[in-house]
Structure formats: C-alpha cells, structure tokens
C-alpha cells in the first residue's frame, strides 16, 4: 500500500513538473501561432479538449487534468483557471482577458482559518457563452447556454440559459436591456 502511494506521488510530481515546463515554454509565444500552439500542446494535460481551441498568453491553469473544454473555445490572456474542483467549458466559449474562475474556496471565518478546510465545487459553463474581461466566477456556479457575462462581473450563483448577467454580485439584466 505504501509503495503504491509513493509511486502515485512520484507520478503526480513528474506530471506537475512537465505541466510547469510546457506552460513556461509556451506561455510567451505571441500572436495566433502561440495561441494555437498552446491550445494544441497544453491540451495534452487536460481532461478533455475539443477541436480548434486557442489559449492566449500568460494563462495560469491549476490542475489542468480537471479541465474539460468543448470545441471552438478561446481562453483570453492573463486568465486564472483554478480547476481543482473540475471546470467544464462547453462549445464556443470565449473568455475575455484577465478572467478568474475558481473551483475552490478557503474556509469561512465562522469555522476558523486554523482548520484550513476548503470547499471544492465544479464550475460548469454552457455552450455559446461569452465572459467579459476582469470577471470572476466562484465555485459551484453553472452558467447556462447562450449567456453573456458583462465585463467586471462577479458571478456568485448559477444562471440558466439565454441570459445577460452583470454586476457585483452578478444579476440577470436581460430584461432591463430588452426594455430599454
């Protein structure tokens, strides 16, 4: 039993080192060529990767094996994708620059920081979703198909299909947009 645990730990360390080196070497290649190279080679570490995905410069992805990407996705520059609790991106998802998506939260003040408890929850993003620059998506959130997340939004809870959401915290503003 102990030998298997050591073997698994060594495999995990090698995997994480390879990921770090691939990310370091590919992260600084500019332009379309760099985006396609990252989309091709970094995806070797993902849980699943669809066709024609582009990953822009300076993207930080934690636990890439828990990232599942559909077809025709674009991950903008400077993003932080924490995939510890699984991150699912549908088809035709475009994530603007400097977006943060988290699947893990630290303990609440009520339970105390010394306990170091963490909650891990998946994030699911549907098909045909656009996420604007500097948005933050928190653990446990589901964003339905055909949804726009306005720039600078903080998404703290789930939304269904066909929405336009904005604000801190984000709310559905589709009806407000259509009535004006």
Q: Among 7, 106, 134, 157, which one carries the catalytic annotation?
A: 106
Burial grade of 9 (CB within 10 A; 0-12, 13-18, 19 or more):
exposed
Write the CA distances from 171 to 9, 63, 89, 99, integer angstroms: 43, 29, 21, 18
106 labelled catalytic? yes
- The span from the CA of 23 to the CA of 41, in Å, is 9
Strand order, beta sheet including 164-167: 54-55, 74-75, 94-95, 130-131, 148-149, 164-167, 170-172
Q: What are phi and psi of 16, to 5 degrees?
A: -65, -35
Q: Which residues are catalytic?
A: 106
């Amino acid at each position: 039993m102990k030998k298997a645990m050591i073997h698994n730990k060594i495999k995990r360390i090698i995997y994480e080192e390879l990921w770090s080196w691939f990310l370091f070497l590919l992260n600084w290649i500019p332009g379309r060529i760099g985006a396609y190279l990252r989309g091709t080679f970094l995806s070797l570490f993902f849980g699943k990767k669809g066709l024609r995905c582009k990953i822009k410069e300076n993207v930080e992805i934690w636990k890439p094996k828990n990232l599942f990407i559909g077809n025709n996705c674009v991950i903008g520059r400077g993003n932080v994708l924490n995939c510890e609790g699984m991150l699912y991106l549908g088809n035709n998802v475009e994530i603007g620059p400097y977006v943060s998506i988290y699947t893990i939260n630290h303990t609440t003040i009520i339970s105390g920081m010394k306990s170091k408890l963490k909650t891990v929850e998946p994030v699911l993003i549907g098909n045909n979703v656009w996420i604007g620059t500097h948005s933050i998506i928190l653990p446990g959130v589901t964003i339905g198909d055909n949804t726009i997340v306005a720039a600078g939004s903080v998404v703290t809870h789930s939304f269904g299909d066909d929405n336009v959401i904005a604000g801190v915290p984000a709310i559905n503003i589709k009806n407000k947009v259509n009535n004006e």
